Structure 1
Amino acid sequence: MTSSAPLAAAVTQLHDSLLTTPAWPADAALLPSEPLWHWVATNHRNNCLLWAEEDLARRTTVSEAEIAKNKRAIDGYNQARNDATERVDELLLIGLGLVDAESARSDAPRSTVPAGARLNSETAGSMIDRMSIMALKIDAMRKQTLRSDVDDAHRASSQVKLERLLQQRQDLGDCLDGLLADSAAGKAYFKVYRQFKMYNDARFNPALVAEQKAQQAKTSGG
């Protein structure tokens, strides 16, 4: 695959095929080895795991400890999802020749964008991340149209929603391909945007910093 080739259809096919694979998302061995597709699939895997934990976190008949466990898992999957999105952007930008490859993974990647190109506020990686979530919504809504324990009105309403979701994913995919085509032609570009998720980092989260200080004071005082 070249960096300027249409990507959305292949991304959609990968997302949907993985969702129908019995061992997915538990089995990380299903991740492709080719770097770009590895990270596209890794992003999708973490979205799938995140989706399942979000469902579990809404339970009302389990202990608070179980919900806290779900919430911590959500934080971890969300971090991994964002990390994978950044890897996708790095690889696409390197392939497009829009970033210095040696600095691509740093906190300050060096741009090699041609003069006059417009900056797109959303990155290609974030569009692919949104397509992953759309794939999950489509899969879940399609299952609603096949339920036998609900009435016809529920299935019909779900079918309307499914058709809208499919159109929304198609629109998003068209925008992705348009951005990549314009970027390959020197008309547009995007950047690697670092998320810097501070709530997961004990060096930055003020609540975790306070806990550490309290523990250190307790230890030194003892």
Structure 2
Amino acid sequence: MNDAPLYPFSAQEIAALHDHFTALWHRQPPALPGEARGPVPDAVIAQHLANFELWHTEDRARTPGATDHEIAEVKRSIDRINQRRNDLAEACDTLLLAELATRGLPDPGAELHSESPGLIIDRLSILALKIWHTQEEIARAAGHPEALAGHALRNRERLNLLLMQRGDLAACLDRLWQQTLAGERRFKLYRQLKMYNDPSLNPAIYQAKTPVGE
């Protein structure tokens, strides 16, 4: 069995990456960092970038006055980004399972966990975006106290809930990883098997390509 140390995987480090890049990408054009941090953190950052782009692309579809053409283009972009988001969540699981395999883990006899680390990382990514934008709303209300009466209070309450949810979820991820390393629990790579982007599986696509009369 390989005794080399595993990448120091922790939910706290993942949340710190999410927060750092969420703030950075709101100051400058979002892009992957030029310097590698390692396979797992690089996959975490890439997956978060997909969620970041998805969040702001969905906002464009909700812009008042958006034309039908603009909404259709945004919808196609959302489908592409969402596919990348799911692929990268799976990539996180693939990397973690590859590291575990060098130690003969996960134990096939251990209790199966219903959710993989990659799926939890995806949820933490979305929470990081919600937290940043909620903090933004608190700051916006501070600058317009009369126009946004009660807005700051509602968003502070929302922020407290989001932080609690992230703390709970991060603890669950750390616990899953610790139990997996101890051979007490296991997880699998669950392919999302999205159908909407596959022209051979989505009838809205393949039926549109079928010549009339066939």
- Do the two structures share a fold, i.e. TM-score over 0.5? yes
- Which residue matches 1:34? 38
Q: Deviations over 1:190-220 (max 9, x none)?
A: 1111111111011111121112222897xxx
The amino acid that maps onto 1:85 is: A
Secondary structure of the corresponding residue to residue 145 of structure 1 = helix
Structure 1 gaps, min length 5: 101-111, 218-222
% identical aligned pairs: 37
Does the CA contact (< 8 Å) of 1:31 and 1:42 recur in 2?
Answer: no
Given candidates 118, 122, 126, the residue that maps to 1:129 is 122
Secondary structure of the corresponding residue to residue 198 of structure 1 = coil
Deviation at 1:97, TM superposition (A): 2.0
Secondary structure of the corresponding residue to residue 150 of structure 2 = helix
Does the CA contact (< 8 Å) of 1:3 and 1:184 recur in 2?
Answer: no
Change in 2 beyond 3 A, CA 1:56/1:77:
same
1:140 aligned onto 2:133: yes
Change in 2 beyond 3 A, CA 1:216/1:7:
farther
- Which residue matches 1:16? 19
Does the CA contact (< 8 Å) of 1:47 and 1:132 recur in 2?
Answer: yes
Deviation at 1:24, TM superposition (A): 4.7
**Deviates most, 172-181 or 207-216:** 207-216
Change in 2 beyond 3 A, CA 1:14/1:115:
closer
- Which residue matches 1:57? 61
Normalised by the size of structure 2, how large is the TM-score?
0.88
Normalised by the size of structure 1, how large is the TM-score?
0.85
The amino acid that maps onto 2:48 is: H
Q: Deviations over 1:63-97 (max 9, x none)?
A: 10001111111101100000000000011111122
Does the CA contact (< 8 Å) of 2:32 and 2:45 recur in 1?
Answer: no
Change in 2 beyond 3 A, CA 1:50/1:155:
same
Does the CA contact (< 8 Å) of 1:182 and 1:188 recur in 2?
Answer: yes
- Which residue matches 2:155? 158
The amino acid that maps onto 1:10 is: E
Query: Aligned ranges for residues 147-186 of structure 1 at < 5 Å?
Result: 147=140, 148-149=143-144, 150-186=147-183
**Deviates most, 27-36 or 38-47:** 27-36
Given candidates 107, 116, 141, the residue that maps to 1:114 is 107
CA RMSD between the two structures: 2.3
Change in 2 beyond 3 A, CA 1:170/1:29:
same
Deviation at 1:151, TM superposition (A): 3.1
**Deviates most, 163-172 or 51-60:** 51-60
